[in-house]
């Protein structure tokens, strides 16, 4: 993931140079904002819901400084949101798409929650994560495998020392 962020930062530095050239050739600020949003910001936000939670704070801060620098330089409007807000918005859009599209490729990770007769508070959605290990993401499978090995080791110790 650090390679992805480092590559993104180097690509964006090239993009800011191109934006500087466009501004020096007389491109209007409104159109400059559109070009910056379509190129540089789009490359920063590419697959952000997948990696934002796993990125270190230093890398997130570096990407946030890039967006702030673009805002200060006039490539983005002054009221442009920060990278954390853009990431949360992308994450919310992805979850909304998964919830409302029954053929979404990630939909099988969400299982409809059983309806109870109790009067509990309302939830934002009626999904729970799958209990089937084959449907879990890789990082959960590794944890499950570790606990499985620890359990087998404890069982062997118990049988040997009886």
pLDDT, tens digit (0-9, with 9 covering 90-100), for 5-42: 888 888 888 888 899 999 999 999 999 999 999 999 99
Domain extents in the chain: 2-92, 107-160
Cα Rg of the chain, angstroms: 23
Low-confidence residues in the chain, pLDDT < 50: 136, 139-141, 146, 149-150, 153, 155-159, 162
In this predicted structure, what is the pLDDT of residue 110? 76
* Model confidence, pTM: 0.63
* Contacts with 74 (C-beta within 8 Å, 6 or more apart), sequence order: 23, 29, 32
Torsion of CA 83, 84, 89, 93, to 10 degrees: 100
Q: Give the mean pLDDT of the chain.
A: 78
Q: Token pair 């990082």 is at which residue?
A: 139
């Amino acid at each position: 993931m650090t390679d992805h962020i480092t590559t993104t930062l180097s690509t964006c530095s090239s993009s800011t140079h191109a934006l500087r050239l466009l501004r020096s050739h007389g491109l209007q600020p409104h159109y400059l904002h559109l070009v910056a949003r379509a190129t540089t910001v789009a490359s920063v936000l590419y697959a952000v819901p997948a990696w934002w939670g796993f990125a270190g704070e230093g890398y997130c801060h570096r990407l946030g400084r890039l967006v702030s620098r673009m805002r200060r330089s006039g490539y983005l409007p002054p009221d442009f949101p920060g990278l954390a807000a853009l990431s949360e918005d992308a994450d919310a859009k992805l979850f909304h798409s998964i919830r409302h599209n029954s053929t979404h490729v990630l939909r099988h990770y969400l299982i409809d929650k059983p309806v109870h007769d109790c009067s509990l508070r309302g939830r934002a959605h009626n999904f729970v994560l799958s209990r089937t290990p084959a449907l879990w993401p890789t990082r959960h499978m590794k944890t499950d495998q570790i606990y499985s090995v620890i359990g087998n080791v404890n069982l062997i110790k118990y049988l040997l020392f009886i």
